[in-house]
Amino acid sequence: MTSYFRQSRWQRKKELIEPTIFELSKGRKRGYYRFSIEEEMLKAVGGVQKLIPEELRRDELNLPNLSEPEVVRHFSRLAEMNYGIDSGPYWLGSCTMKYNPKINEKIAGSSKVRRLHPYQPEETVQGALKIMYELGEMLGKITGLRHWTFQTSAGAHGEYLGCSIIRAYHLDRGEKQRDEMLIPLSAHGSNFASAAMAGFKVVRIPINENGCTDLAALRAAIGDRTAGMMITNPNTLGIFEEEVQEIAELIHGAGGLLYYDGANLNALLGKVLLSAMGVDLAHLNLHKTFSTPHGTGGPGAGAVLVRDGLEDFLPIPVLRERDGRYYFDYKVPKTVGRVKAFYGNFEVLVKAWAYLKTLGTDGLREVSEIAVLNANYALAKLRGLKWVSVEYGGDRPRKHEFVISLKDARSKIDAPALHIAKRLLDYGLHPPTIYFPPVVEEAFMMEPTETDSKEDIDRYVEVMRRILEEELEENPELILNAPHNSSIDRLDEVRAAREPILSWKIYERYYKREKA
C-alpha cells in the first residue's frame, strides 16, 4: 500500500534533522542586530558602565550570534516541518480545528490594534473598547447570558474563573460548606483541575449507556455541600445531554449553580441558548467555535458569561457603555478580583469579532448545521468499517463530533488507536484526539468541523478503510513502525520522560558529557 504524502524533512545528517539555534551559531562572529546610541547622549550620561551597579553586572550570556538570514532560514525550515490547518484535515475532537479566516488576521495585525497600550486614556481607545463591547453583546445573544468578561486567556482559565465565581457566590450567601463540584466522567480533564485550583473537592458523576449524565447517580451525589456542576453539552462523546433541564433543576434545587464548558459550542450556534438549558455561567473558547487560530498551543481567549444576578462577581474591570462612550468600571461590588493583568487577549478578540460580523445571524446556524452534518456523515461511513465499533448512544445523531472505538483491532496489534493514529500521518492527515474520553477504550474522538469538504471527509474515511481493512491484515508492521513520511520517524516518549532534556543547557551540561 502506498502513501504518497511527504512532509518536509530538512535532514542534515543521519542523526539530525535541524540543528538547534545554538549549534548553528557556533564559532565565528557574524553581522548582528544592533541598536545605535547617539553619541551626544552617551556623553551626557557619562558612558554605559556606570549605569549598572557593579554587583549586578552580567558577565556571561550564552545566546546565539547569527545574522538575520540565518535566523529566518532556520525558523522557516522549522515551519515547513509543522502541520497546520492550512495544510490539511485536522480532526482533533473537542478542539474544533476550523479554518482561520485570513481577513481576521489582517485586521488584527493592524497597528491600530497592536500599538495600543492598556494604560492609555480611555478616550484614545474607544475603537478597541467598541470591538470588545460588540463582541460581548453578540456572545451574550448567542448564549442568552448577558454579562461577560474577556479577562481569561483560555478555556481552562475560564473554567477557573467560573469556579471562582461559584465559590464567591456561595460565600456571599453564607454557605461556606458548599465545597463540592460535580463533574461527569466524560468531561475534559481541565474541568477537574480547574475546580481543584479554585478550592473545590471533585465529585465524579458516572454516565449512562447513552453516554449522558446518569441522573440517578447525580441525585445520589447532590447534597448541601454541592456548589455546582460543570457540564459539557454536547458532551465529549458528541451526544446532546437530553436531560439537561432536569440536571439544571436538580442542581438549582440543591442550591448549586450550573457551569457550561463551551468547548463544544460549535454544535449549537443559533440552535439552543445556554440560558434555556438552565446554565448559570459558561466559558466560550474563541479559539475553537469562533475561528481564531491556536498558534501551536495558544494564544486563545476565553470569554466568561454569566446570567443576571451573577454580574456582581465578575472580575474587575467590567466594560460598560453609556451614551455611545465605552469605559471600564472598577466598582464591581462582589468581584472575585482579577485573574489576569489587563483586559484579555485583545488581538484574539478582534479576530472573533470579525468572524461573527462575517457570519451574521444566518451564518450562525449554517456553521453548526454543516459541522453536525459533516460529523454524522463521517460517522455513518466509518461505522461500516472493519474493527470500528461505536460505544454509547446507539444510533442517535451525534453533534459536531463523535467517538469510535478501535478496541476490536487489539486482536491484531496492541494499542491500535496509537499506532493507527501514527499511520494516518503518512497520508498527510492529522489524527483525531486519541484515548479520550477515557470512558471509551482505544478511542478516536473525531471532529471534522464545517470547514472540511465532503471530498476531505471521503478521503479521510478511505484512508481509514485502507489502514484498517488492508494494511492491518496484510502488513501490520507498516502500522507499528509508522510514521514513515513525516519529518521524523516514531519518537521515543518514554526516554524523553526518563531522561528529561528540557533545555539546551541541560543537554550540554548533563547529557552531552555523559555521552562522551
Partner 1 sequence: MRYIPNTDKELICTMLKEIGVKSIDDLFSDIPEKLRLKEPPDIGIPLDEAELYRIAKEVLSKNVTTEEFLSFLGGGIWDHYVPAAVDEIAAKQEFYTAYTPYQPEISQGALQAIFEYQSLIAELTGMEVVSASHYDWSTALAEAALMSMRINRRSKHLISAAISPERFEVLKTYLSPLGVTIVPLNYERETGFLDLDDLEKKIDDETCMVYVENPNFFGVIDENVVKLADVVHKKGAIFVIGVNTISLGALKPPGEYGADIVVGDGQQLGIYPSFGGPLLGIIATRFDRRFVRQMPGRLVGMTWSKRGVRGYVITLQTREQHIRRERATSNITTNESLMAIRAAVYLSLLGKDGIKSLCEKMLVNTAYLMSRLGSIEGLEVPIFNSKHFQEFLVKSRAKKWSEIQQSLLRKGIFAGIDLNKRFPGFFSELGEVALLATTEIHTKADLDRLVREIEEVMR
Rg (CA), the chain: 26
Q: Under the criterion CB under 8 A, does residue 100 sit at the interface with partner 1?
A: yes
Q: Under the criterion CB under 8 A, does residue 121 sit at the interface with partner 1?
A: yes
Residue with cell 492527515: 429
CA 94 vs. chain centroid, Å, equals: 8
Instruction: Please give the angle made by the CA atoms of 166, 168 and 172, to the nearest 5 degrees.
Output: 120
Specify the DSSP class assigned to residue 315: P
Q: How far is the CB of 250 from partner 1 (least distance, A)?
A: 16
Return the number of other C-beta atoms located less than 10 Å from residue 504's C-beta.
15
Q: Under the criterion CB under 8 A, does residue 114 sit at the interface with partner 1?
A: yes
Per-residue binding string, partner 1, 365-404, x by CB under 8 A, is xxx-xx-xxx-xx--xx--------------xx-------
**Of residues 103 and 473, the one with the C-beta less far from partner 1:** 103
Q: How far is the CB of 371 from partner 1 (least distance, A)?
A: 9
Q: How far is the CB of 177 from partner 1 (least distance, A)?
A: 14
Q: Under the criterion CB under 8 A, does residue 340 sit at the interface with partner 1?
A: yes
Q: Under the criterion CB under 8 A, does residue 1 sit at the interface with partner 1?
A: no
Per-residue binding string, partner 1, 397-436, x by CB under 8 A, is x-----------------------xx--x----xx-x--x
Pick from 293, 313, 299: which is nearest to 346 by CA? 299
Query: Of these, 165, 237, 265, 277, which contacts partner 1 (CB under 8 A)?
Result: 277
Q: Under the criterion CB under 8 A, does residue 324 sit at the interface with partner 1?
A: no
Query: Of these, 296, 322, 323, 414, which contacts partner 1 (CB under 8 A)?
Result: 296
Pick from 338, 10, 327: which is nearest to 150 by CA? 338
Q: Under the criterion CB under 8 A, does residue 142 sit at the interface with partner 1?
A: yes
Q: How far is the CB of 253 from partner 1 (least distance, A)?
A: 19
Which letter, b or e, does each residue of 49-88 get, where b requires 16 or more Cβ atoms within 10 Å of its Cβ?
Answer: eeeeeeeeeeeeeeebebeeeeeeebeebeeebeeebeeb
**Of residues 351 and 471, the one with the C-beta less far from partner 1:** 351
Q: Strands 257-261 and 402-405, how do they pair? A: unpaired
Site for partner 1 in 41-80 (CB under 8 A): 41-42, 44-45, 48, 51-53, 55-59, 61-66, 68, 71-72, 74-80
**Is 258 in contact with 251 (CB distance < 8 Å)?**
yes
Query: Of these, 6, 82, 173, 209, which contacts partner 1 (CB under 8 A)?
Result: 82
The piece of 19-27, 216-224, 402-410, 464-472 that touches partner 1 (CB under 8 A) is 19-27
Q: How far is the CB of 156 from partner 1 (least distance, A)?
A: 4
**Of residues 411 and 477, the one with the C-beta less far from partner 1:** 477
The piece of 249-257, 332-340, 439-447, 467-475 that touches partner 1 (CB under 8 A) is 332-340
Could you give the C-alpha distances from 12 to 9, 20, 89, 491, in angstroms and in order? 9, 12, 29, 18
Q: Under the criterion CB under 8 A, does residue 486 sit at the interface with partner 1?
A: yes
Could you give the C-alpha distances from 76 to 6, 102, 441, in angstroms and in order? 17, 20, 39
Transcribe 98-115 into DSSP letters.
----HHHHHHHTSHHHHT
- Please tell me the distance from the alpha carbon of residue 331 to that of residue 318, in angstroms, as a whole number: 8
**Is 274 in contact with 143 (CB distance < 8 Å)?**
yes
Q: Under the criterion CB under 8 A, does residue 493 sit at the interface with partner 1?
A: yes
